[in-house]
Amino acid sequence: MQTMREPTYFTLAALLDGPLHGYAIAKHAEAVSDGRVRLTAGTLYSALDRLLGQGLITVDGEEVVEGRARRYYRLTASGRRALQAEAARLAGAAAVVVSRISATPEPAA
């Protein structure tokens, strides 16, 4: 399993609560990453294309609202598993530090 880039990770994370369209995914990703992941339309759609190709997300429906095209994307079962695996990997990586950082002395400046 390859490690995910941050935009990919937060794009998938945005879809945990249910299907979203492109703009909503970008807003959601920005919110849950504390503003770190500010997706542009170019990177967002590149990520969505890649995730569609990998079968991690799927198109859930389309509509046109006030002349604007909205396509909704939904997490697939394998997308959910991939996200879970990545979250576990990140948690494991964090645990390595978190469990030991307080037990080790701070080096002299």
Partner 1 sequence: MTAAELTYRLALRAYPPGYRRARGHEILSTLADMQGDARRPSLRQTGALVKAGVCERGRAVTGGDRAGIWAEGCALAALVLLLLAATGAAFQLGWDIWYARLGMGWPLGGFSPVPLEPAGLVRVLAAALLPWGAALAVCRGRRLLPLAMALTAAALYVGGAVGFAGTGGYQSWSAGQSWMENAYQLGTAIFLAAPAGLLWVAGRGRRRPAAHRSLAWLALPAALTILHLASYWETTIVFWPLGAIMLAWFLAGRWSPHLAVAVFGVAVPVLAFVLPTAVGAPDYEYAVAVAAGAATLAFASLASALAFAPETELDPPAL
Residues contributing to the site for partner 1 (CB under 8 A): 2-3, 5, 8, 21-23, 26, 40-46, 48-54, 68-71
| Angle value at C-alpha 4, between 55 and 54, nearest 5 degrees | 15
| Residue closer to partner 1 (CB basis): 27 or 95 | 27
Cβ nearer to partner 1, comparing 10 with 22: 22
Q: How far is CA 40 from CA 5, 22, 23, in A?
A: 15, 10, 10
Of residues 64 and 109, the one with the C-beta less far from partner 1: 64
Shortest spacing between CB 57 and partner 1, in angstroms: 9
21 beta partners:
72
What's the min distance (Å) between Cβ of 68 and partner 1? 4
CA dihedral 34, 38, 44, 50 (to 10 degrees): -60
Minimum distance of partner 1 from residue 37's CB (angstroms): 13
Q: How far is the CB of 41 from partner 1 (least distance, A)?
A: 5
Q: Which residue do the tokens 């959910």 mark?
A: 80
Closer by beta carbon to partner 1, 49 or else 81: 49
Taking alpha carbons only, the member of 79, 96, 72, 77 closest to residue 9 is: 79
